[in-house]
Amino acid sequence: MGLLDGKVAIITGAGGGLGEAYAKLFAKEGAAIVVNDLGSTVDGSGASAAAEKVVAEIVAAGGRAVANGDDVSSMVGGRNILRSAIDSFGKVDILICNAGILRDRTFAKTSEEDWDLVLKVHLKGAYCCTLPVWKWLKDNGRPGVIILTSSTSGLFGNFGQANYGAAKAGIYGLVRVLSIEGRKYGIRVMGVAPNAITRMWADIPEIQDDERVSALRPENVAPGVLFMASDLAADHSGKVLAVSGEEIAEVRMLKAEGLHLKAPYTAKDVATHAASVFFPADPK
């Protein structure tokens, strides 16, 4: 018995890296998989048969999978990805929005094209893929699981990734809102902030020399995402997990104790009580 026996999972960006690792593990655990991928390069250009290759490997291992090459960042693409699941397997139970690109620049060097394309693929892509699945689950009275991919770059910040970080922070907000709206329909929504060495990070010298390389393989993130998608996490929604081969931990937005007062107040009042307004400074 697999953890996902009888389930159908759509996984975007599953032609390599994290998505491929998810697809192969989910198939091993009994799910039928829609492997979506354009097969583009890291910056979003070009195309290849990456999805077909992953499907062939899943089928050769005894699993069930179909390839889909639609663009996640358009509503037509999102609807077609859902249609692949319905036409091939009759339903959908799980959606993992994993597709993404990078166009890293310091903020002053980020072009409008770099900004728009990264937000289009990550944030709009989450919308375009989630909405058709959401409506199908809701209209058919079926429970489901939606996992959106955030990042520590958006949750904590990272140099040179203003566009990527903004998109991933937006996904955190989407997870929180959809988890509230999904309660009445039995739709669980979670976020994952994965830490793995994929082709997105392959050119970073520090990582290539890192002794932690084997621990940070995509295959070591996949079990945490499997947990999130399975009934083992049935009591969890609206939460974001940072997942790697080294740790799994929930990431939350928190509020400090705060200054409780009655208006009017002055800017100097805030400064005087700054210790209550702000969290303690991080030790240096």
Q: Which of 185, 191, 187 is nearest to 152 (CA)?
A: 191
Q: In which order are the strands placed within the sheet that holds 248-251?
A: 64-68, 32-36, 8-12, 94-97, 144-149, 187-194, 240-243, 248-251
pLDDT of residue 262: 84
Residues known to be catalytic: 164
SS3 content of the chain, % helix, strand, coil (to 5): 45, 15, 40
| pTM (whole model) above 0.95 | no
Which tens digits make up the pLDDT trace of 54-113? 999 999 999 999 999 999 999 999 999 999 999 999 999 999 999 999 999 999 999 999
pLDDT of residue 215: 72
pLDDT of residue 228: 98
pLDDT of residue 201: 54
Distance CA 227, CA 216 (A): 18
Around Cβ 19, how many Cβ atoms within 10 Å? 29
Domain 8-255 fold is: Rossmann fold (3.40.50)
Q: Which residue ranges in the chain fall short of pLDDT 70?
A: 40-48, 198-212, 283-284
pLDDT of residue 208: 55
Handedness of CA 117, 118, 121, 127 (dihedral sign): negative
Handedness of CA 117, 166, 188, 251 (dihedral sign): positive
Which tens digits make up the pLDDT trace of 251-275? 999 999 898 888 899 999 999 999 9
Distance CA 228, CA 216 (A): 19
pLDDT of residue 153: 92
Distance CA 227, CA 115 (A): 33
Q: Which of 119, 246, 250, 148 is nearest to 195 (CA)?
A: 246
Distance CA 64, CA 44 (A): 28
What are φ and ψ of residue 8, in 5° steps? -120, 125
